[in-house]
Amino acid sequence: MTGSSALMAIGHILMCYTLFFSFHASKALGYGATVVESGKSHAPPSCSGTTTGLRVVHKYGPCSPSGLKKTSAVASQILVQDKLRVRAINSRLHNRRTIGLEGEGTTDTYLQNDLPGAANFLVSVGFGTPLQYFSLALDTGSYVTWVQCEPCTESPCPQQQKASLYYPSFSSTYSNAPCSPRCNYTQTYMDKSKSGGVFVLDTVSIGQDYQIPEFIFLCAVPDKKTGDFGEADGILGLGLASSGDEFATYSLATQTANLFGRVFCHCLPSSGNSGYVYFGEKAREQCPFSGTYTPLLRNLDSDANYYFVNLIAITLGQKKVEVPSGIFSSPGTIIDSGTVITHLPSSVYSELSQEFDRLMSEFPPANPSDDGVLKACYNLVDQDNLAIPEMVLHFENLDVNLDQTAVTWKGNDDMSQVCFAFAAKENEGDVTIIGNHQQQKLNMLFNIPYQRLEIGPGKC
- Residues with catalytic roles: 139, 336
- Within a 13 Å sphere around the CA of 442, how many CA atoms are in the beta-carbon half? 27
**Tally of CB atoms within 10 A around 69:** 12
Maximum pairwise Cα distance, the chain: 69
Whole-angstrom distance, CA of residue 122 vs CA of residue 415: 26
Residue 254 is classified by DSSP as H
List helix spans (H) across 301-383. 346-359
Question: Could you give the C-alpha distances from 381 to 61, 378, 416, 422, in angstroms and in order?
Answer: 21, 9, 5, 21
Which segments within 181-232 are labelled E, that is strand?
185-188, 194-206, 210-221
Residue 424's identity, in one-letter code, is A
The torsion region of residue 376 among left (phi > 0), alpha (psi -120 to 50) and beta comes to: beta
Which one, of 28, 19, 242, 232, lies nearest residue 138 by Cα?
Answer: 232
| 273 close to 222: Cβ distance less than 8 angstroms | no
| 341 close to 329: Cβ distance less than 8 angstroms | no
Residue 150's identity, in one-letter code, is E
| 125 close to 204: Cβ distance less than 8 angstroms | yes
Q: Helices (H), strands (E): how many in the chain? A: 6, 26
- In sign, the C-alpha dihedral spanning 327, 329, 335, 341 is negative
Which one, of 395, 306, 269, 372, lies nearest residue 88 by Cα?
Answer: 306
Question: Could you give the C-alpha distances from 356 to 208, 317, 395, 411, in angstroms and in order?
Answer: 43, 8, 21, 17
| 117 close to 85: Cβ distance less than 8 angstroms | yes
